[in-house]
Amino acid sequence: SYVLTQPPSVSVAPGKTAGITCGGDNIGTYSVHWYQQKPGQAPVLVVYDDSDRPSGIPERFSGSNSGNTATLTIARVEAGDEADYYCQVWDSSSVHSWVFGGGTRLTVL
Amino acid sequence: QVHLVESGGGLVKPGGSLRLSCAASGFTFSDSYMTWIRQAPGKGLEWVSYISSSGHTTSYADSVKGRFTISRDNSKNSLYLQMNSLRVEDTAMYYCSIEGNTGQFDPWGQGTLVTVSS
């Protein structure tokens, strides 16, 4: 089955830019989606189809995807961005097609 | 406004059964693909099951195949997950969500907690 690999943690100072990676074999050929989950809350979609933002998501959140790595970038990081972030793809070539990365804890210093 | 509300979670002994429900509102439920996703305490997200808009097509994670059954009642705008032969490792928060055109999940309900323990 398809595997997505994320770093367990990323730390960033307020006002700086954070990058969270998601690695997978030829992930550039998939549509990658990103979710934010704050403690005690359900996940929220923040980027879909590699780089699109749902309505209501700040422009500070952006995504890219190429080769074997997808990246979620958060510009001008705020304390409220501290959360777990998960990448996810739909592998249409597989019966059990919906795969999540292991998640990355973003800490705002 | 799209709204998903899960219910039916609780404490159950290993080998027992539970039926989860997800009440949907604010969108055309009968046109939507639906899914269940779970999260064990302190762990990451795991896709559990999918059902097509008509209910004719379903899919399950290997970890639950043969024990869980997903279904829906479009007349009641409701999604269900029948969980049988529950194991300790099924302990998790269970979320329902709408699956989008390219496999994304949006939005999610608030979840219902299932605890399997003797």
Average pLDDT over chain A, rounded to whole? 95
* Residue A97, pLDDT score: 81
Q: Considering CB atoms only, which of A48, A49, A100 is closest to B45?
A: A100
At residue A96 the predicted structure's pLDDT band, cuts being 50, 70 and 90, is low
Of A31, A45, A99, the CB nearest to B105: A45
Task: Please tell me the distance from the alpha carbon of residue A55 to that of residue A78, in angstroms, as a whole number.
Answer: 19
User: Closest Cα to residue A97, out of B20, B61, B107, B108?
Assistant: B61
Question: DSSP label at A27?
Answer: G
Would you give the end-to-end CA distance of chain B in angstroms? Answer: 40
Q: What is the pLDDT of residues A36-67, one digit of tens each?
A: 999 999 999 999 999 999 999 999 999 999 99
Residue A63's pLDDT is 98
- Contact between residue A19 and residue A45 where contact means Cβ atoms under 8 Å apart: no
A49, closest residue in chain B (CA to CA): B102
Which residues from B are below 8 Å from A when comparing CB atoms?
Answer: 35, 44-47, 50, 59-62, 95, 99-100, 102-111
pLDDT tens-digit series, residues B49-73 = 999 999 999 999 999 999 999 999 9
Distance CA(B94)–CA(B45), nearest Å, equals: 10
Q: Which residues of chain B have pLDDT under 50?
A: none
Confidence band, pLDDT 50/70/90 cuts, at residue A93: confident
A94 touches chain B (CB under 8 A): no
Residue type, B83: M
Q: How confident is the model at residue B31, as a pLDDT? A: 97
For residue A100, pLDDT over 70 is answered with yes
The pLDDT > 90 percentage for chain A reads: 92
Q: Which residue of A has its CA nearest to B44?
A: A102
Question: In this predicted structure, what is the pLDDT of residue A1?
Answer: 82
Q: Chain B residues with CB inside 8 Å of A99's CB?
A: 47
